[in-house]
């Protein structure tokens, strides 16, 4: 029976060191140590002997160039299986793991080098084992079959298994437990189906002449019941006593789900009685999924493959070919292991998690805006959560026409206090000298410096009176001066409305265009504000600005 060749164990650190130094002896030892394992794995995954040989060849050539880059040299086996797995996935893997149907199951596990000390297991024939194994594997996904293949047949522990698959050791162990539970349940169903068929076949062959003695209370199995599961008996299988927190059928169901225990299939009493006395059914009931993986037929490694690998790895003229093979092997992870096409990299997972969280928050905010939007008005909600009152302009208004530099604007009596000195008339500077004309005519006004009278101020016209910012953040408002020149100032009721100019002047019949800009945050809520324009005479004109919800 073909099995792994009896080679001595070589430390992974020594092999990696030899590969880093370009030692041909170390490369040959690497092939002798892992050649049959990788060929068995590639053939099980692909189902084609030629494709499996090409994958093994490219994997060793790639390992000779890039395996020393890995951070932990104890993961050499994970590096090799990961590189072979990536090439198997690229070329297309089989839906069900492949084994030669004409070969027989071995009495020796795949990884054992020596003959077993004890007696070989008493199992059914290989044809029956092939049927049971293939039917049980057909119930699993391709990824689950591969995990069990690496764990049970190739002996990868969770840490090395996770490194080969691009997963953490914890997730790899969870996948092994879940896959083992599922395949054991599927295999148990196949064994029970075969036992029912065996019991029905024996009953039919006996006939009416020699009926099978059945104890009282049990009916013999009929031909039409051979492939149909019988109804469960009135008494359910004995289960462990439920705890105080999980009583009743619901509690037992929760315990089974949490511990991933398969549901016990109902067994026909007549079939159970037959299994107790049938040697073939007893042998079939002792079969386990892990043992099937370990003892499945091992392929024969092609003898010419070793010469092909060593020639490609050592021929100086094939340096470009070796570089091309390594380039087709894909990128390496930060740990130096081959990246897997069906597993995102840690950076990709991090960005996907971050981007998904941001997208979810943005969608939730948009839904809240559009749900609350119809009920939000400018008077009930202000955004941002602070409101600024109208503030006076930083520039003083020009004094009224006709007032001199020494005069002050008049103030009403209600604004004057008893101690307000501004209520007294202004006192001019006193001098002891007077001109003769002032002495002769004290009531004559002083001569004016200009003979032209001051121009009469005009009227400020603002258009339009209301600006709507729906779907945009910019608008324009026009100012015009009628019947004379105009000077004006502007104020905004909220800091969300920004005006291009806050003061200015225009000649008679002059115009001016101002730009209104809406300032929002990432998400803007509907609102309303006011722009107040004041001319030199104190007349005010207001422009109402309304806006809706906005994003960015």
Q: In what order do the strands lie in the sheet with 511-518?
A: 459-463, 474-482, 511-518, 497-499
Query: Do 131 and 278 lie in a common domain?
Result: yes
Which of 274, 301, 327 finishes a domain? 327
- Answer left, alpha or beta for residue 340, where phi above 0 means left and psi between -120 and 50 means alpha: beta
Tally of structural domains, the chain: 2
- Residue 470 in any domain: the answer is yes
Residue 261 lies in a domain: yes
Pairing of strands 466-469, 540-547: parallel
Give, in degrees to the nearest 5, the angle at Cα 36 between 31 and 42: 105
Distance CA 48, CA 42 (A): 9
Determine, yes or no, domain membership for 447.
no
N- to C-terminal Cα separation, the chain: 71
Whether residue 55 lies inside any domain: the answer is yes
Q: Would you say residue 215 lies in a domain?
A: yes
Looking at 302, 327, 352, which one is the last position of a domain? 327
Using an 8 Å Cβ cutoff, are 275 and 228 in contact? Answer: no
What integer pLDDT is reported at residue 270 of this predicted model? Answer: 73
pLDDT at 4: 54
Mark which of 306, 327, 348 sits at the end of a domain: 327
Query: Per-block average pLDDT, block size 10, for the chain (552 residues)?
Result: 46 80 88 94 94 96 90 86 94 90 88 58 86 93 94 94 92 94 93 85 56 39 38 38 44 49 60 80 89 92 94 93 92 90 67 71 76 50 48 49 46 45 48 49 52 71 89 88 88 89 88 89 83 88 88 67
CA distance 290 to 157: 14
Domain that holds residue 535: 459-551
The residues near 375 (Cβ < 8 Å, ≥ 6 apart) are none
- Note the residue count of the chain: 552
439 lies in some domain:
no
Cis peptide before 311 (omega within 30 of 0): no
Q: In this structure, is residue 271 part of a structural domain?
A: yes
- Residue 160 sits in the same domain as residue 307: yes
The backbone torsions φ and ψ at residue 351, rounded to the nearest 5 degrees and listed phi first, read -70, -35
What CATH number is associated with residue 505?
A: 2.60.40.10
* Residue 388, in any domain of the structure: no
């Amino acid at each position: 029976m073909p099995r792994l060749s009896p080679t001595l164990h070589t430390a992974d650190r020594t092999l990696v060191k030899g590969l880093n130094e370009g030692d041909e002896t170390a490369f040959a030892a690497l092939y002798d140590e892992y050649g049959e394992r990788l060929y068995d794995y590639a053939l099980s995954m692909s189902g084609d002997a030629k494709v499996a040989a090409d994958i093994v060849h490219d994997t060793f050539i790639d390992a000779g160039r890039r395996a020393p880059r890995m951070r932990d040299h104890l993961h050499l086996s994970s590096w090799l299986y990961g590189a072979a797995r990536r090439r198997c996935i690229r070329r297309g893997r089989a839906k069900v793991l492949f084994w030669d149907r004409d070969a027989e199951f071995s009495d020796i596990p795949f990884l054992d080098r020596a003959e077993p000390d004890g007696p070989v297991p008493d199992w059914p024939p290989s044809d029956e084992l092939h049927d049971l194994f293939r039917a049980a594997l057909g119930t699993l996904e391709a990824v689950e079959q591969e995990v069990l293949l690496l764990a049970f047949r190739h002996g990868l522990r969770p840490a090395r298994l996770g490194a080969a698959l691009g997963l953490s050791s914890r997730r790899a162990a969870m996948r092994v437990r879940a896959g083992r539970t599922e395949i054991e349940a599927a295999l148990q169903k196949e064994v029970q189906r075969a036992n029912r068929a065996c019991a029905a076949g024996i009953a039919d062959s006996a006939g009416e002449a020699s009926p099978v003695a059945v104890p009282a209370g049990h009916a013999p199995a009929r031909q039409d019941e051979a492939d149909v599961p019988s109804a469960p008996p009135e008494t359910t299988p004995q289960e462990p006593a439920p705890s105080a927190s999980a009583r009743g059928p619901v509690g037992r169901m929760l315990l089974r789900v949490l511990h991933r225990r398969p549901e016990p299939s109902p067994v026909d009493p007549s079939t159970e009685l037959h299994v107790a006395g049938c040697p073939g059914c007893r042998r079939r009931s002792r079969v386990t999924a892990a043992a099937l993986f370990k003892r499945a037929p091992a392929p024969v490694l092609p003898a010419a493959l070793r010469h092909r690998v060593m020639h490609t790895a050592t021929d100086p003229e094939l340096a470009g070919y070796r570089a091309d093979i390594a380039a087709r092997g894909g990128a390496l992870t930060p740990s130096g292991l081959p990246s897997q096409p069906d597993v995102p990299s840690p950076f990709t997972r991090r960005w996907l998690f971050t981007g998904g969280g941001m997208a979810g928050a943005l969608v939730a905010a948009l839904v809240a805006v559009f749900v609350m939007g119809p009920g939000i008005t400018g008077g009930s909600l202000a955004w941002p959560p602070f409101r600024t009152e109208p503030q006076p302009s930083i520039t003083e208004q020009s004094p009224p026409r006709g007032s001199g530099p020494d005069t002050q604007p008049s103030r009403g009596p209600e604004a004057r206090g008893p101690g307000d000195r501004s209520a007294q008339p202004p006192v001019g500077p006193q001098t002891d000298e007077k001109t003769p004309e002032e002495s002769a005519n004290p009531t004559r006004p002083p001569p004016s410096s200009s003979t032209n009278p001051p121009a009469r101020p005009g009227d400020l016209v603002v258009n339009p009176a209301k600006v709507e910012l729906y779907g945009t953040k910019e608008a324009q408002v026009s100012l015009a001066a009628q019947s004379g020149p105009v000077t004006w100032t502007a104020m905004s009721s909220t800091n969300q409305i920004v005006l291009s100019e806050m003061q200015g002047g225009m000649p008679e019949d002059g115009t001016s265009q101002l730009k209104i800009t809406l300032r929002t945050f990432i998400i803007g809520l509907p609102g309303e504000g006011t722009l107040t324009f004041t001319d030199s005479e104190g007349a005010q004109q207001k422009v109402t600005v309304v806006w809706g919800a906005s994003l960015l």
